[in-house]
Amino acid sequence: MSDDPEDRMLGWDESVFRDEHVFEIDWLPETFKHRDTQMETLKYALRPAVRGSRPLNVIARGPPGTGKTTAIQILFDELTAQTDVKTVRVNCQMDSTRYAVFSRLFAEIFDYEPPSSGISFKKLFSQITDKLVEEDEVLVVALDDVNYLFYESEASDTLYSLLRAHEAHSGAKIGVICVSSDMELDAIDALDTRVQSVFRPEEVYFNTYGQAEIADILSERVERGFNEDVVGPTVLDRVAELTEEQGGDLRVGIDLLRRAGMNAEMRASRSVETEDVEEAYDKSKYVHLSRRLRELSDSETALVEVIAAHDGQQAGDIYDAFSEQTDLGYTRYSEIINKLDQLDIIDADYTNVEGRGRSRELTLNYDADAVLERL
């Protein structure tokens, strides 16, 4: 083999990647590692649906990037392929009201979108349940990131409609899986008592992955996504270590591998080095922030911008600047503060202010420049 460095450089039409799609968040692994207990509990809860009965309800909790959505996708794929059970996963970041959730259910059941206006919730609901009874289908609904329904005060009404469907329409069989990444949210306690009495879920906890587990899981992506010998054990261990530092969120590690590969290509290198990982980490560590900011409304984004410019100031002072931009009232302003606090984008801690009593101090949980760059 030649020792000429030029022989080890990538050509312009070459890549370190074998299949870059492997580093997309929605790519499903062939083997779902270190989640056997959680999968068994989910299967136990859904087994009645296969027999034509209403399944047990489930609440799946765990920090971000611990495999909750992947578990649902794998189970739903199996149910769709092997049974007549109808499954629908709703992204509650996108569909954060009861009407939006049922519109998504309608679209998945009928294979077309409901009218954008002029149809009441009652009619939308009855068309869905009519279809289920007519086809004698059991419906399993996964409310992914259900915490967003709580942030918008829509969770109780949404779950009540789903869980009481069999009372409104005899023969309707619907089971619900609630998936939450907000570890401070006690979803059951936060529901109305009328919902608590019928929800009674099986609880599944997705614990944070350890460094060795992270390396084991990411090794499959390395094998399938990169060409041979592009990522060595030392580099993979460093990616796992940095991922663990970010709460064990696999999405950080997946993004870190992809960006490190791109950095290697920028150097025209055939292998990813530790320096590529370290450089990529400055961006990959903000993967949670980027995801959360993308889902904000215009008014919520506007408040984040104002807080970035007035970081650490009192809520009343920040409201003055915010109202100049949006003309929104203080009630809506307070609601947005609460949501941003729940999303962990800001801290809104009460402090004693001389002459003004208790007031909330608003501070970003991230570097202001990093936030503004991602808005």
Q: Is 326 annotated as a binding residue?
A: no
Which tokens belong to 154? 């829509």
Which tokens belong to 151? 């942030």
Q: Is 221 annotated as a binding residue?
A: yes
**Beta strands, E only, the chain:** 58-61, 86-91, 138-144, 173-180, 202-205, 346-353, 357-364
Coil, strand or helix: which one is 235?
helix
Q: Is 209 annotated as a binding residue?
A: yes
Distance, CA of 267 to CA of 270 (rounded, Å): 9
Contacts of 23 (CB under 8 A, 6+ apart): 221, 225, 254, 255, 257, 258, 261
Contacts of 116 (CB under 8 A, 6+ apart): none
Q: Is 357 annotated as a binding residue?
A: no
User: Exposed, middle or buried by CB within 10 Å (0-12, 13-18, 19+), for 122?
Assistant: exposed
Which tokens belong to 8? 């080890």
Distance, CA of 363 to CA of 347 (rounded, Å): 5
Q: Is 301 annotated as a binding residue?
A: no
Q: What does DSSP say about strands 86-91 and 138-144: parallel, antiparallel, or unpaired? A: parallel
Which residue positions form the known binding site for ATP? 66-70, 209, 221
Return binding residues.
66-70, 209, 221
